[in-house]
Copies of this chain bind each other. A is one copy, B any other.
Amino acid sequence: MTIQDAVSELGNFLGERLVRSKAELEAHGRSETHFPLTPPDAVAYPHDTAEVAQIARICARHGCPIVGWGAGTSLEGGNLAARGGVVVDFARMNRLIEVSAADMDCRVQPGLRREALNTELRATGLFFPVDPGADAALGGMAMTRASGTTAVRYGTMRDNVRGLEVVLADGRVIRTGSRARKSSAGYDLTGLFVGSEGTLGLVTELTLRLYGLPEAVAAATCAFPAMGPAVETVIATIQNCIPMARIEFVDGQSVAAFNRAAGAGLPEAPHLMVEFHGTESGVAEDAARFAEIADEYGARDIQRAHLPEDRNRLWKMRHHAYWSILQSRPGATAIVTDICVPISRMAEAVEETQADIAASQIAGPILGHVGDGNFHAVLMARPDDPADLAAARAIAARMAERALRLGGTVTGEHGIGMGKLEYMQAEHGEAWAVMGDIKRVLDPANVMNPGKVVPQP
């Protein structure tokens, strides 16, 4: 009963779809951020749910860890095999199974990426709005409860997964949810699995909610003299029921990185980037009311992005922020923080964080989804400089503490992964033990992504 026994039995079962080459293991041990290389013992490429169930049964028999893998875009190492074992890569389970236009939903396999889904949907007039920036796989997005720039309007994966097919640790296959838009029939297992980071089972199919492509879209950027008035603008916009589809905050340092990497030519001051979805007259009215509010709070340089290509450039720039910022410190690695606070405390949270970073030896541009109270500091460190890394970790820890003090959470959308387990007790108290109880009853041998999310045995 060892990992090697499991790998050997899996090899007999999957043939060349169980891969153990150094290159493949390293490709599945690499993180987008600062985590050290953590290669698994093997990578499996199942074709269907029945194969995933058989993989689970084999791993259960040998006590071998199983970790799901989508597009490899996790920022917290949620997809790294912290205790070795088998990575199940869903690259060959990446189909759009079915679209129902009347029900505005679709069924997909977990390896399908969000951009590919939206490309396939184009002819239907529908789209899937959740947009974490990276071209992530939908299974991985569900497992980290991903969100991103559009959550303020369309919600997170919690709100947009209607149902799941899940392979449990013992190989049983269950279906959660239904095609109905709502249900009161028992516990919300869909919601329990979404955000569980693969610790309770492997998702093999998702039913996703879709939306009609808006008839009209309007976008704009505007600069502010400081962070505070930008946040006040957002609060006032929400309270006036102006429906924003996106509302992003970026600080002056982030804008500087955009200017360098994408020739944005923006003033190097705090900015809001906003988008409205609706009818032609509706978005015009929304944009005008927003501009009035922003103006009251001292906004300058309000620039409308009239053409689709202008908007694409705007959001591409925002999506590439992490890479643009990293480029500003060649050779640097980064700890990307992800706290989310009540929006009434956001200005305070950002200002304290900015002061903390300014007093340190490292750089850390700040940007985030201000409509949700969620923001990121990209804390850059030279990977070979222990003092840099220590400074980044200390700032991240103080941000986590600050988020909790202000009534928020240590992660708005990136998940716990390998990076945030140490904050779970402080965030949840006794409720963290309850999460551990649920994990134990569904995965008593602790083979599903061990080392993550719950208290460790």
Q: Which residues of A contact B (CB under 8 A)?
A: 100-105, 125, 144-147, 151, 155-156, 158-159, 168, 172-176, 178-189, 191-192, 194-196, 200, 211-212, 214-215, 235, 238-241, 278-279, 281-282, 285, 338, 340-344, 372-374, 403, 407-416, 420, 423-424, 427-432, 434-435, 437-438, 440-442, 453-454
Contact = CB atoms under 8 A, between A and B. Distances in A.
Nearest to A232: B102
Contacts of A411: 183-185
A440 B438 CA distance: 10
Contact of A441 (B147, B158, B168, B438): B438
B101 A178 contact: no
Contact of A189 (B146, B176, B200, B435): B435
B432 A186 contact: yes
Contact of A437 (B188, B240, B442): B442
Contact of A180 (B185, B407, B414): B407
A191 to B, nearest CB: 3
A430 B53 CA distance: 14
Contacts of A412: 180, 182-184
B184 A413 contact: yes
B188 A343 contact: no
Most B CB within 10 A of own CB, among A173, A176, A181, A196: A181
Contacts of A407: 178-180
A372 B181 CA distance: 6
A374 B156 contact: no
Contacts of A186: 195, 416, 424, 427-428, 432, 435, 453-454
A202 to B, nearest CB: 14
Given A238-B104, A281-B281, A340-B183, A188 B195 contact: yes
Given A172-B430, A191-B188, A438-B441, A344 B103 contact: yes
B168 A434 contact: yes
A121 to B, nearest CB: 13
Most B CB within 10 A of own CB, among A411, A431, A432: A431
Given A180-B372, A180-B373, A181-B342, 8 more contacts: A102-B235, A172-B430, A184-B411, A184-B413, A188-B192, A191-B192, A214-B241, A437-B442
A279 to B, nearest CB: 7
Contact of A175 (B105, B341, B431): B431
B159 A414 contact: no
